[in-house]
Homo-oligomer: A and B are copies of this chain.
């Protein structure tokens, strides 16, 4: 057994919530193994928290401080872990650490999605590491594969289930046949959704992850504002039932695509929304709090990464993997492979994005309605792939599956359809992804 030979590296931990406490415990408990793997002891020298007097079982009280800035500045701190979350003061602390040449490990997706390039530039400028495997899809190694493993290839598409809360809720809506509101309440009672569920159910969390993944995949800056976003609050029982009758499931997806333009240029589209997926698609069976990311590239073809997307221990696994990695780089006298953003590709507006659609219409049960509907679709270049008519008492339901169409064309189609007197209602409208 080789003994670690390097001088100890000091670790400052910023934040001691669920993830931070787990990181601290594992740093102390597995100190020998981590030292052997890094090549030097990783010594936890301090934990910055808002309130130092709170009881934190198993963690020595003398480690805690409310002075994050002072902790980061300590001469014996080499590595800084940020698991506070949010934009400020996390950004200020991370920049302080990077500009003083310390290596940073963070799980902060919101900050990376808003200001990632500035942080990366600070790391580059001071020749140190900024690692953030835990920021997307929890324990699943996805940042490293995207940044390093696939860097010699061209990623063309990323499609992921990257938010456990919405995946749990949609799962429950399928199995229990329940509506969104009551399922959300149940998820909150079980601790799968927060008291204020906005970030999850409105898609902000998934959109931040989409921005990070798109930036890595396409080597071009994509921020939260570039990501089209629809939440799951409008997903109805009717949508779920329609999906099931078509052999599909409704999933909240983050989708990033590289689009070749007719003029030879390229555009990026990044979007987060609920969509129907065929039941046989690899992402369709990703249940509950699990995450998965499906990646398509020019040379490697299809890849999938699957695992737990959240939780203290899984997220701590990702944080500690990064910590050992950046420690190894420091000991080797260099830094790791940084992400390369060398393009500034335009972002396609959602109206230009091409997808398939499911459209269900409640219509008057009279001759000629289908002809009117079909005429509207044709006028907007929306081509029908499948059509089914279901009769009820007095009304009929038209269930249409389209070929791929521009989102703007489908939107215009729907606006015109609801203006037809015999069309009572669009009872379900959803994008269809996967093959």
Contact A145–B144 (Cβ < 8 Å): yes
Query: Does A10 sit at the interface, judged by CB under 8 A?
Result: no
Given A37-B340, A37-B342, A301-B314, verify A133-B154 contact (CB < 8 Å): no
Query: Does A349 sit at the interface, judged by CB under 8 A?
Result: no
Query: Does A241 sit at the interface, judged by CB under 8 A?
Result: no
Residue-wise interface mask of A (295-339) relative to B, using a CB-CB cutoff of 8 A (1 in contact, 0 not): 001111111111110000110111111111100110011111110
CA distance A151 to B301 in the complex (A): 27
CA distance A36 to B37 in the complex (A): 32
CA distance A338 to B324 in the complex (A): 11
Query: Does A193 sit at the interface, judged by CB under 8 A?
Result: no
Contact A313–B333 (Cβ < 8 Å): no
Contact B303–A306 (Cβ < 8 Å): yes
Contact B144–A141 (Cβ < 8 Å): yes
Contact B151–A324 (Cβ < 8 Å): yes
Copies in the complex: 2
> Which of A305, A314, A333, A337 gathers most chain B CB within 10 Å?
A337
Contact A307–B318 (Cβ < 8 Å): no
Interface SS majority for chain A: mixed
Q: Which residues of B contact A33 (CB under 8 A)?
A: 154, 219
Nearest chain B CB to A258 CB, angstrom units:
12
CA distance A250 to B348 in the complex (A): 46
CA distance A313 to B338 in the complex (A): 25
Contact B328–A141 (Cβ < 8 Å): no
Contact A334–B337 (Cβ < 8 Å): no
Residue-wise interface mask of A (4-43) relative to B, using a CB-CB cutoff of 8 A (1 in contact, 0 not): 0000000000000000001000100010011011110000
CA distance A26 to B150 in the complex (A): 13
Contact B152–A299 (Cβ < 8 Å): no
Of the residues B2, B22, B300, B316, contact of A317 by C-beta under 8 Å = B300
Q: Offer 16 A-B interface pairs, CB within 8 angstroms, sorted by A.
A: A2-B342, A33-B154, A37-B342, A141-B141, A150-B321, A151-B321, A152-B322, A152-B323, A298-B313, A301-B314, A305-B305, A306-B306, A328-B336, A328-B338, A329-B334, A329-B337
